[in-house]
C-alpha cells in the first residue's frame, strides 16, 4: 500500500470539513424556508397594502421565530451531531497544520467562489507532486 502524502491528507480533511459545513448550512436553510412558508400560510393576509409597504409584520416575525425554534428542536440531534463532527474536523485540520508547520503553505488550498459557483485549485509556494496529482483527482477539480 502506497503511503499518503500529508498534503493529500490535509486536502481530503479540508474537503470533508467543507462537505460537513455545507450539510449543516443546508439544514439551516431548510428550517428557515419551512418556517417562513408555515408563517405565511398560517397568517395569510386578506387586507390590502399600499405599494412598497411590507406585508411582514412583527407578529409574523414572532410566528416565524417560533417555527424556526420548533423545527430546530425537532432536528436537534442531527444538528448537534453535525456540529460535533465539524468541531472534530476543525481540530484535526489544525493539528495537521501544526504538524506540517511551514510545509502547510506549500500544499495550497481550495477556494470556492460561491456566487460564480466555480471551483479553483489555488497553489501557494512550492509544487508537491502528491498534492498536484492526487488533490485535483480526489476532488474532481481540474487544474487551470
Band of pLDDT at residue 108, cut at 50, 70 and 90:
low
The mean pLDDT value for 58-82 works out to 95
pTM of this structure:
0.63
Arithmetic mean of pLDDT, 62-69? 95
Which of the two residues, 109 and 65, has the higher pLDDT score? Answer: 65
**Better pLDDT: 144 or 20:** 20
Q: Name the phi and psi angles at 131, rounded to 5.
A: -70, -40
**pLDDT surpassing 90 at residue 106:** no
Q: Is 121 helix (H, G, I), strand (E, B) or coil?
A: strand
Average pLDDT over residues 131-135: 39
pLDDT given at position 132: 39
Which of 4-18, 31-45, 107-121 is predicted with the least confidence, judged by mean pLDDT?
107-121
Per-residue pLDDT, 76: 97
Calpha distance 38→109 (Å, rounded): 41
**Residues 23-49: what's their mean pLDDT?**
85
Residue 92 has pLDDT above 90, yes or no: yes
Q: Tell me: the pLDDT tens digits for 72-91?
A: 999 999 999 999 999 999 99
- The closest of 108, 88, 142 to 8, measured between CA atoms, is 108
Q: What is the pLDDT of residue 122?
A: 33
Q: Which helix (H) or strand (E) holds 15?
A: helix 6-42
DSSP state string for 79-99: HHHHHHHHHHHHHHHHHHHHH
Amino acid at each position: 500500500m502506497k503511503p499518503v502524502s500529508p498534503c493529500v491528507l490535509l486536502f481530503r480533511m479540508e474537503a470533508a470539513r467543507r462537505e460537513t459545513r455545507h450539510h449543516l448550512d443546508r439544514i439551516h436553510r431548510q428550517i428557515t424556508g419551512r418556517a417562513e412558508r408555515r408563517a405565511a400560510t398560517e397568517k395569510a393576509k386578506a387586507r390590502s397594502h399600499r405599494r412598497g409597504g411590507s406585508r411582514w409584520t412583527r407578529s409574523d416575525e414572532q410566528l416565524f421565530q417560533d417555527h424556526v425554534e420548533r423545527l430546530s428542536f425537532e432536528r436537534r440531534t442531527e444538528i448537534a451531531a453535525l456540529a460535533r463532527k465539524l468541531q472534530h474536523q476543525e481540530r484535526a485540520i489544525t493539528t495537521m497544520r501544526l504538524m506540517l508547520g511551514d510545509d502547510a503553505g506549500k500544499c495550497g488550498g481550495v477556494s470556492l467562489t460561491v456566487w460564480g459557483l466555480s471551483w479553483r485549485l489555488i497553489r501557494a509556494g512550492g509544487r508537491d507532486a502528491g498534492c498536484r496529482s492526487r488533490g485535483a483527482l480526489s476532488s474532481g477539480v481540474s487544474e487551470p
